[in-house]
Structures are given as structure tokens and as C-alpha cells.
């Protein structure tokens, strides 16, 4: 993977380090990337549009409301860019982006941009240590933004301390890594199940559970970003640009998984599949005046995960989840062996702040040798990213 033919958007904010970005543009261009620059008004105090235009061989974007092709620039540039590097990133711009403020083209772009943003901050040491700035940076990190930390040393304001723009090579490398990492699932078909199954006992009533589908959707979204051919089999309404299949019961989910897993490389069973279903489903709505008691007989559902592990071919990877309210790791170890899958992602569903329906999760990844890796509490988006990266990018555990 190289940066050749990749579209790099560089955002430049007001700071003396802005002049160093000329060298960054040259590096990207030398390695075959397309570069466009978006600059704040303050940045233009330090570097001229003519310099940036000459180096990038592209127009320099400054105004929010001027459009060449009638498409709002912040949308057109977002579509175009494979990565957005903000360097130098001032405390002011970091603060605005962390708080969703869009008062110029650069901050509007950052707000609308759905792919990876890299910040290379540069500022005075006092500003770097300021509590509000620290909070803004840690919030942006929690959303998945990458920060190339500033260096310590002599600063342009005449003091010594942390705040000097990171070496240009480090910023280039961070962008290069994100671009290569971005597509680490390219060429792989991944099937993911999400949501709780619904098992009807009459046409309008069912036995279900509290799974919202957030964890499975986060995995599918991140896998799609990583270049995978994604098929999300789900029990809830959701529009996506990748392939999705709607199912309701465990039996329907089994059929869809069987069909899609046949030519897939990876299956992740995030869905909360009902272990039991009513033995009979009434054709008509059950009437409450016909009986004082309603006794439902439940029969076992097929175990989709175990079934897929039985027919799994060489080269296919199957990952199960394990939802427990006690003895989490003990049960997870038993499950990976009993169901015979390659990995189990274990989460504690007794907690209110993670697991079912929450936007957050904390998980353990177990492999077949029972190595365990803990992913500390984080947003489901970040946990999904870390699960995929842990298994496919780096030595697993
Ligand atoms: O959807 P959210 O609100 O975001 O919540 C996420 C989650 C808590 C549902 C998710 O993180 C999770 O833990 N999913 C697995 C839920 C579950 O059914 O766990 P289990 O331990 O009962 O089952 C173990 C594995 O077997 C799971 O991969 C499950 O999909 C699979 N299974 C279970 C029963 C069955 N009949 N067939 C199966 O394939």
C-alpha cells in the first residue's frame, strides 16, 4: 500500500508551524498522492495561497460559500478526500471541532467528514496543558480521531516546553498508516448478524430480547470502512450502502446466514438469538377472553453459530459473542470450546453502562488457545474497530 493516487486533504490553521506544511505537501506529491488544501483565515497570515497552490497544483480552499460546481464545498471535498490531515491544528480549531462548531470551511469539513481525521497540534505549552484543550483532545480521541503528538523543545514564542509541531515525517507516517490500515479487510466478504430475534406465538406477539443491534451495526460499519464486502443480517430497520438482509426469527436468520456464509471469509455472530421459540404459532391473534391462563411450550432453536462451525471450510473464520451476567470468562472459555469457533468476544450483560442497548461496551477477546485480550470500556464504534484490528491487523492476542 502506498499513498499513490490517494486523495489527501490538508487543513491548515493559524500558527507559525503553518510554513512547515509546505514540506508535507511536497512529500505527499512526491509519493504520487493528490493533495488539496483548506486554510483558515488565520492560516493565511502565515502562508500564502500562491505557495500552497503551486506545491499542491490545486486551488486553495478558504471560503465556505463559494462553489465551483454548485455542490457545497464541504460535501464535495468530504467525498473526494480519503483522509483529512489537520496540521498545524490550533487549540481554537480543535476546540471548535470537538464541540461541533462549523464557522468556516475547515471546521465545516471536519464536522461533515465521516472518514479518518488526523490532528497534528501545535501551540504554546500553556495552551497544550489547558484543561479545556486536554478535554477536547480526549473527546476527539474517543471518537476515533488520530493525534500526532507535538514535540517538546524551543517554541517560536520564545519558551521551552511541549507544543512544537511533530516532525513532518511522523505526520506523513501517521497518514500513510491510516491509509494502509483503512483497507485491511479489502477483498474479504464478512457476514455479521445483529439484533435480537423475535419468536412469534401469534401473528402480533413474540418472545424477544433487548438487543438493539448497535454492536453488530458498529462492526459492520467499521468492516465496510476497512474495505470489506459486508453483508449485515439484521432484525431491525436500518439503511446502509452495503448489503443488508432483514430477518425476524432464529430460523430465518439461520437460512440467511447459511446462504451468505457459503462464499464468505468471515462470520461474526453478534445477534442475540433466542435459544427457544414457541412450539406453535397461532394463525390468528390469541383472544384473552377464551382462557384465564396462557401456557406457552417452548422448543429449542437451532444454534446458528455451532451449525456454521460444523460446516466451516478451511480459510473461513467464525467469531461468536458471549453474553453472560456472571462468571463471564469461565463461560466464554466453555463456549469457544463447545461451539468450536475461532474467537469469542465476551461481554458482561449485567452492567447498565455497557452491553445490551448501550452505546458503550467492554469486551474480552478469546482465541482458541484461550489467550485473552481485554478491550477497556469505550464506544461500540471504537470497540468494533479495535476488535477487527486486533484480529486482522496485528498478531491477534
Ligand atoms: O445489540 P446491542 O444492544 O448493541 O447489544 C450487543 C449484545 C450484548 C447483544 C452483543 O454484544 C452480544 O453479546 N451478542 C451475543 C448475544 C448472545 O446471544 O450471546 P450467547 O452467549 O447467548 O450466545 C453465544 C453465541 O451463540 C452468540 O454469538 C450468539 O449469536 C450465538 N447463538 C446463540 C443462540 C443460538 N440459538 N444461535 C446462535 O448462533
Q: Verify whether ligand 1 is closer than 6 Å to residue 272 (CB atom).
A: yes
Supply the DSSP string of 219-282, one letter for each residue: HHHHHHHTT-EEEEEESS----SSEEEE--SHHHHHHHHHHHHTT-SEEEE-SB--SEEES---
CA atoms within 13 A on the CB side of 168: 13
**In this structure, which residue's CA is closest to atom 23 in ligand 1?**
322
**pLDDT score for 396:** 43
CB 95 within 8 A of CB 128: no
Q: Verify whether ligand 1 is closer than 6 Å to residue 214 (CB atom).
A: yes
**pLDDT score for 180:** 73
What's the CA-to-centroid distance between 237 and ligand 1, angstroms? 19
Look up 102 and say whether it is catalytic. no
Q: Verify whether ligand 1 is closer than 6 Å to residue 323 (CB atom).
A: yes
**pLDDT score for 70:** 57
**pLDDT score for 49:** 95
**In this structure, which residue's CA is closest to atom 27 in ligand 1?**
321
Supply the DSSP string of 294-356, one letter for each residue: ----EEEPP-HHHHHHHHPPTT-EEEEEEEESSSHHHHHHHHHHHHT-SEEEEEETT-SSSST
**In this structure, which residue's CA is closest to atom 10 in ligand 1?**
270
Q: What averages of pLDDT result for each successive group of 10 residues across the chain (397 residues)?
A: 87 95 96 96 95 95 67 79 96 97 95 93 94 95 88 80 92 88 88 98 96 96 91 94 95 98 98 98 91 93 98 97 97 97 97 94 97 94 92 65
The pick from 222, 310, 321 for probing ligand 1's pocket by mutation, whose C-beta has the most ligand atoms within 8 angstroms, reads 321
Q: Give the ligand 1 atom nearest the CA of 301.
A: 36
Q: Verify whether ligand 1 is closer than 6 Å to residue 355 (CB atom).
A: yes
Amino acid at each position: 500500500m502506498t499513498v499513490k493516487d490517494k486523495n489527501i486533504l490538508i487543513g491548515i490553521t493559524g500558527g507559525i508551524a503553518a510554513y512547515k506544511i509546505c514540506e508535507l505537501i511536497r512529500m505527499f506529491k512526491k509519493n504520487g498522492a493528490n493533495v488539496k488544501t483548506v486554510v483558515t483565515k488565520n492560516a493565511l497570515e502565515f502562508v500564502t495561497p500562491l505557495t500552497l497552490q503551486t506545491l499542491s497544483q490545486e486551488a486553495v480552499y478558504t471560503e465556505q460559500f463559494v462553489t465551483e460546481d454548485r455542490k457545497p464545498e464541504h460535501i464535495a471535498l468530504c467525498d473526494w478526500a480519503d483522509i483529512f490531515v489537520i496540521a498545524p491544528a490550533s487549540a481554537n480549531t480543535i476546540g471548535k471541532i470537538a464541540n461541533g462548531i462549523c464557522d468556516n470551511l475547515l471546521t465545516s469539513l471536519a464536522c461533515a467528514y465521516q472518514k479518518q481525521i488526523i490532528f497534528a497540534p501545535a501551540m504554546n505549552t500553556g495552551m497544550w496543558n489547558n484543561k479545556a484543550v486536554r478535554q477536547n483532545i480526549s473527546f476527539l480521541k474517543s471518537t476515533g480521531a488520530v493525534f500526532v503528538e507535538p514535540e517538546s523543545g524551543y517554541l517560536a514564542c520564545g519558551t521551552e516546553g511541549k507544543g512544537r509541531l511533530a516532525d513532518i515525517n511522523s505526520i506523513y507516517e501517521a497518514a500513510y498508516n491510516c491509509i494502509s490500515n483503512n483497507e485491511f479487510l479489502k477483498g474479504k466478504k464478512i457476514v455479521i448478524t445483529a439484533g435480537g430475534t423475535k419468536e412469534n406465538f401469534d401473528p402480533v406477539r413474540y418472545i424477544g430480547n433487548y438487543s438493539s443491534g448497535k454492536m453488530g451495526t458498529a462492526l459492520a460499519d467499521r468492516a465496510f470502512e476497512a474495505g470489506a464486502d459486508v453483508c449485515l443480517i439484521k432484525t431491525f430497520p436500518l439503511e446502509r450502502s452495503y448489503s443488508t438482509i432483514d430477518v425476524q426469527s432464529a430460523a430465518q436468520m439461520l437460512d440467511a446466514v447459511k446462504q451468505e456464509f457459503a462464499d464468505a471469509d468471515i462470520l461474526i455472530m453478534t445477534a442475540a438469538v433466542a435459544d427457544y421459540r414457541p412450539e406453535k404459532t397461532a394463525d390468528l391473534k390469541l383472544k384473552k377472553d377464551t382462557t384465564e391462563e396462557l401456557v406457552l411450550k417452548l422448543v429449542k432453536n437451532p444454534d446458528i453459530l455451532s451449525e456454521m462451525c460444523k460446516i466451516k471450510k478451511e480459510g473461513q473464520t467464525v467469531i461468536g459473542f458471549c453474553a453472560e451476567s456472571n462468571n463471564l470468562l469461565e463461560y466464554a472459555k466453555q463456549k469457544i470450546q463447545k461451539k468450536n469457533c475461532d474467537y469469542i468476544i465476551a461481554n458482561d450483560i449485567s452492567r447498565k453502562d455497557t452491553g445490551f442497548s448501550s452505546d458503550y461496551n467492554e469486551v474480552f477477546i478469546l482465541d482458541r488457545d484461550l489467550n485473552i485480550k481485554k478491550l477497556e470500556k469505550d464506544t461500540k464504534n471504537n470497540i468494533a474497530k479495535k476488535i477487527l484490528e486486533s484480529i486482522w491487523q496485528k498478531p491477534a492476542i
